[in-house]
């Protein structure tokens, strides 16, 4: 085990203190000792210790009280209690108060060694575990926020219920073909679910118009990609979704909007979202037209190879078997 692990032994019994110190130093640990709870509490104030091994029964103060004080001074400190066999109820109280472990006197060195090693191992992995919990919560928060934003957007865009979800489902199929990482797939999926969030900022009369848009209405509608970026940008954990929101209407040949990007200048996530967005739009019913059949929609995608869409993505999309496309309902 690592020699840097710093242990403080608190025991007013000099023989126990010395024998335990000798054992732990023999295993390479850095050991300090305190002959009273008061001295231990004062040494703990410099927060230089990683493990406190304290007798429960001491003349000036109980090890249980020292445990509570130690936790106040340094919440990350682990505490192992030493107890006589007759003090079992105190040991149990100590565990309830947050002690890491306890062992009995007279010492069983095998058990002590095991308990101290375990304390060190847990301390070593604790930062990873804490980081994992924080990241997990961040992801949950991200999903919850995304869901409410998507609901807000879908509530306004009544002609397009389920559009974001379907675009995301097609995009995931394409991303798998491109061997996207799990992280990349999650990012793309979320971006596609929210790609039209900017429609929140488009007037109802245009958004839910039961007919094709006029040129001037279309100019207004086109603003949704920039509005989407504007909405999402202040949320730091959504920053990686910006390319999909802003550029999902760019075209491979540069004739798209809002920036007229072309070819590989359009981020891949946005190129995928754009193709899947188009495919879902033409296969969905509108008040002024019936949905295209799968075959018609696929031949339209093929016709736009190298014009509207990245040729490589078109080839991969056409490889997806019809039942897999039809399953996205």
196 vs 269, beta carbon nearer Fe ion: 196
First-residue to last-residue Cα distance in the chain: 57
116 vs 175, beta carbon nearer Fe ion: 175
CB of 303 to Fe ion, least distance (A): 20
Residues in a beta bridge with 10: 34, 54
Span interacting with Fe ion, options 20-28, 176-184, 194-202, 303-311, rule CB under 5 A = 194-202
64 vs 207, beta carbon nearer Fe ion: 207
Q: Which residue has the tokens 């359009």?
A: 266
Structure tokens at 201: 């900022």
Q: How many residues are present in the chain?
A: 329
CB of 236 to Fe ion, least distance (A): 23
Is residue 196 near Fe ion by the rule CB under 5 A? yes
Span interacting with Fe ion, options 3-11, 139-147, 193-201, 302-310, rule CB under 5 A = 193-201
Within the chain, where are the H helices?
14-26, 37-44, 63-73, 88-96, 109-156, 163-177, 182-193, 204-207, 215-221, 224-232, 242-247, 268-283, 294-303, 311-319, 322-326
21 vs 160, beta carbon nearer Fe ion: 160
CB of 219 to Fe ion, least distance (A): 14
Give the residue numbers marked as catalytic: 199
Q: Mask of contacts with Fe ion, 263-302, x by CB under 5 A?
A: --------------x-------------------------
Return d(Cα 260, Cα 266) in angstroms, integer: 9
Return d(Cα 10, Cα 39) in angstroms, integer: 8
Q: What is the binding site for Fe ion (CB under 5 A)? A: 196, 277
């Amino acid at each position: 085990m690592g020699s840097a692990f710093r242990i403080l032994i608190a025991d007013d019994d000099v023989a126990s203190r010395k024998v335990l110190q000798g054992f732990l130093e023999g295993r390479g640990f850095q050991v300090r000792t305190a002959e009273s709870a008061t001295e231990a509490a004062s040494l703990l104030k410099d927060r230089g210790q990683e493990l406190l091994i304290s007798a429960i029964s001491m003349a000036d103060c109980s090890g249980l009280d020292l445990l509570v004080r130690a936790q106040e001074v340094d919440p990350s400190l682990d505490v192992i209690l030493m107890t006589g066999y007759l003090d079992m109820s105190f040991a149990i109280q100590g565990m309830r108060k947050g002690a890491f472990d306890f062992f009995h006197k007279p010492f069983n060195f095998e058990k002590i060694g095991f308990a101290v090693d375990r304390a060190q191992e847990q301390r070593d992995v604790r930062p990873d575990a804490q980081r994992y919990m924080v990241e997990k919560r961040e992801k949950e928060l991200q999903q919850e926020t995304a869901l409410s934003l998507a609901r807000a957007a879908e509530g306004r865009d009544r002609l397009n219920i389920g559009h974001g979800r379907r675009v995301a489902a097609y995009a995931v199929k394409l991303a798998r073909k491109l061997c996207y990482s799990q992280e990349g797939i999650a990012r793309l999926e979320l971006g596609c679910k929210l790609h039209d969030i900017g429609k929140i900022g488009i007037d109802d009369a245009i958004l839910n118009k039961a007919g094709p848009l006029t040129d001037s209405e279309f100019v207004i509608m086109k603003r949704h990609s920039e509005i989407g970026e504007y909405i999402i940008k202040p949320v730091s954990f959504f920053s990686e979704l910006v390319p999909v929101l802003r550029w999902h209407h760019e075209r491979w040949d540069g004739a798209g909007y809002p920036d007229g990007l072309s070819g590989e200048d359009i981020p891949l996530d946005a190129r995928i979202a754009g193709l899947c967005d188009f495919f879902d739009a033409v296969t969905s019913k509108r008040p002024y037209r019936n949905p295209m059949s799968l075959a018609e929609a696929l031949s339209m995608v093929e016709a736009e190879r190298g014009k509207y869409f990245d040729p490589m993505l078109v080839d991969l999309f056409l490889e997806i078997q019809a039942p897999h496309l039809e399953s996205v309902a």
